[in-house]
Amino acid sequence: MKIAIMGAMREEIDPILATVGEYSTTEYAGNIFYECSYAGHECVIAYSKIGKVFSAITASVMIERFGATHLLFSGVAGGISKELKIGDLIMASELCQHDVDIVAFGHPYGFIPEGSVMIETDGNLRSLASEVAVDMGIELYEGIIATGDQFVASSERKEWIAKTFNADALEMEGASVACVCHNFGIPFFVLRAISDSADGSADIDFDTFLQSSAQVSATFILEMVKRLGD
């Protein structure tokens, strides 16, 4: 088993690299990949840079070049659900692309021909995450996460995404990683810590809470790595 651990930004993997300690680096396809051993597993760690294109490239490289058999995504997201507060953890049950729009051809928002609006994450990994949450005494939410190449600070846009996709949180990478993993047959899991809320203050909250929220997500992901294969 070789585990890929992804983030979108440096801040999202720094806590992970600090915990694993020693690692080697490989520069490839415009990115840096960190390889290490942790909790008896071989791991490859990377941040993709922001957005769907870079995250899809990074996930593909981790699978094809580095031989990842499982992929765990750790990072932050904006809250849509009124239940989610800054620092809360949400795991994706399914992911969608809220910025895909070919409705002029009679398709629903988020749909690409020969694809689907939603891609489901791995059920076994979600079950493991639920066990970790109980043992750590952490409340872990589960819901739909919407992805798009937009930083959404508008309450009106958030409300539209919530209504259209029944989404609970939104970010800029998860669904593209889901597409890659689904097509390669790789079990994957997406965990996000809420860094900004649904009240329209995303532009203010994000920078303030990025590092602390990323730390929450990273700690949880590494606990999952410890238990994988048990």
- CATH (domain of 46): 3.40.50.1580
Where helices occur in the chain by DSSP H, the ranges are: 10-20, 52-64, 123-136, 155-165, 174-184, 202-227
* pLDDT range class, residue 207, cuts 50, 70, 90: low
* pLDDT range class, residue 199, cuts 50, 70, 90: low
Question: Residue 208 sits in which domain range?
Answer: 2-227
pLDDT at 146 over 90: yes
pLDDT at 33 over 80: yes
pLDDT at 204 over 70: no
Is 104 strand, coil or helix? helix
Greatest alpha-carbon span in the chain: 52
Domain tally, the chain: 1
Beta bridge partner(s), residue 188:
71
- Convert 46-64 to b/e letters by CB count within 10 Å (16 or more is b): bbbbebbebbbbbbbbbbe
Do 175 and 80 meet the contact criterion of CB atoms below 8 Å apart?
Answer: no
* pLDDT range class, residue 211, cuts 50, 70, 90: low
Is 59 strand, coil or helix? helix
Mean pLDDT of the chain: 92
Q: How confident is the model over 33-58, as a mean pLDDT? A: 97
- Catalytic residue list: 12, 196
Do 68 and 177 meet the contact criterion of CB atoms below 8 Å apart?
Answer: no
Q: What is the pTM for the complete model shown?
A: 0.92
Confidence (pLDDT) at 214: 74
Sign of the alpha-carbon dihedral angle for 92, 119, 55, 80: negative
132 burial (CB, 10 Å; 0-12 / 13-18 / 19+) is: middle
> What percent of the chain has a predicted confidence (pLDDT) above 90?
78
User: How many Å apart are CA 26 and CA 31, to the nearest integer?
Assistant: 8
